[in-house]
């Protein structure tokens, strides 16, 4: 069964949301790994001789939450995409009102989670960068990637990864908002299936008979 065009657009948006969520989760996980498992968001950097060191990192659970929320939503998008592709090609399946209500609830929760994750990435990265710039060893956070860190090998491309994770999260938020709007439009169209009666409809005939009496055919 061919899917209606609003649902096709919705699936295309789910595919894009999957990519954004996967990029955000992977970039943040890579950054946390470069700091030996410490979460650099909202962290404080200090000078250790001529090197930088992350002396006061945030709790690892903060990065786990952001990466986990992004990764789980990406997995949800992938599974949903595969399900509807399979259903449209193999089975005669369609989404009813109950399915749309569930999808709307999940989309609303997803928007909340992505918004929280994007804000944490935005303000957490800004706090770390302000801490680094205040040391007067560099003028920007991107330049700090060229400075040696203690222990050696940490903070490899940390700012680029955090920036990519934040950008992906904001794009993901826009995608989920558009998905929610599409689902609301589909829900309204399914919730109001009635149409105006026309001449020739059985319902029209019964209504007019009740008002003016049955019509008799003339030979």
The whole-angstrom separation of Cα 47 and Cα 151 is: 12
The whole-angstrom separation of Cα 98 and Cα 7 is: 15
Quote the strand ranges of 23-67, DSSP E: 39-48, 51-58
Express each pLDDT in 145-177 by its tens digit: 888 888 777 777 889 999 999 999 999 999 999
Contact of 110 with 74, CB cutoff 8 Å: no
Cα angle 41-45-48, degrees, rounded to a multiple of 5: 150
How far from 29 is each of 39, 78, 164, CA to CA, in Å? 9, 20, 12
Q: What is the mean pLDDT of residues 178-205?
A: 68
Contact of 13 with 103, CB cutoff 8 Å: no
Q: Is the dihedral of CA 19, 22, 23, 24 positive or negative?
A: positive
Tokens describing residue 72: 């789980």
State yes or no: pLDDT of 201 exceeds 60.
Answer: no
Phi, psi of 51 (to 5 degrees): -110, 160
Q: What is the mean pLDDT of residues 34-46?
A: 89
Strand pairing partners for 45? Answer: 54
Neighbours of 205 (CB within 10 A): 14
Q: Is the peptide bond before 99 cis (omega within 30 degrees of 0)?
A: no
Global confidence as pTM: 0.80
Three-state secondary structure call for residue 46: strand
State yes or no: pLDDT of 196 exceeds 60.
Answer: no
Contact of 146 with 190, CB cutoff 8 Å: no
Q: What share of the chain is helix, strand, coil (3-state, %, to 5)?
A: 65, 10, 25
Predicted confidence band of residue 29 (pLDDT cuts 50, 70, 90): very high
Quick one: what percent of the chain has pLDDT higher than 70? 83
Contact of 20 with 76, CB cutoff 8 Å: no
Q: What is the mean pLDDT of residues 72-92?
A: 84
State yes or no: pLDDT of 210 exceeds 80.
Answer: no
pLDDT value at position 191? 67
Predicted confidence band of residue 22 (pLDDT cuts 50, 70, 90): very high
pLDDT value at position 155? 75
State yes or no: pLDDT of 20 exceeds 90.
Answer: yes
State yes or no: pLDDT of 186 exceeds 50.
Answer: yes
HSE (side-chain half, CA atoms, 13 Å) at 22: 11
The whole-angstrom separation of Cα 93 and Cα 55 is: 55
């Amino acid at each position: 069964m061919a899917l209606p065009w609003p649902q096709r657009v919705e699936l295309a948006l789910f595919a894009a949301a999957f990519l954004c969520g996967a990029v955000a989760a992977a970039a943040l996980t890579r950054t946390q790994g470069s700091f030996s498992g410490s979460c650099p968001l909202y962290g404080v950097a200090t000078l250790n001789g001529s090197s930088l060191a992350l002396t006061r990192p945030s709790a690892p659970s903060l990065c786990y939450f952001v990466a986990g929320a992004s990764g789980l939503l990406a997995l949800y998008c992938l599974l949903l995409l595969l399900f509807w592709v399979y259903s449209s090609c193999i089975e005669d399946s369609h989404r009813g009102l109950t399915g749309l209500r569930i999808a709307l609830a999940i989309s609303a929760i997803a928007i909340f989670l992505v918004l929280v994750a994007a804000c944490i990435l935005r303000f957490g990265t800004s706090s770390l960068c302000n801490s680094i710039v205040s040391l007067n060893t560099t003028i920007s956070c991107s330049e700090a990637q060229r400075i040696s860190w203690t222990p050696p090998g940490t903070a490899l491309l940390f700012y680029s990864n955090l920036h990519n994770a934040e950008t992906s999260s904001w794009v993901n938020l826009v995608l989920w908002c558009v998905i929610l709007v599409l689902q609301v439009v589909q829900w309204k169209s399914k919730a109001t299936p009635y149409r105006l009666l026309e001449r020739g409809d059985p319902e029209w005939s019964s209504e007019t008979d009740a008002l003016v009496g049955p019509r008799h055919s003339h030979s």
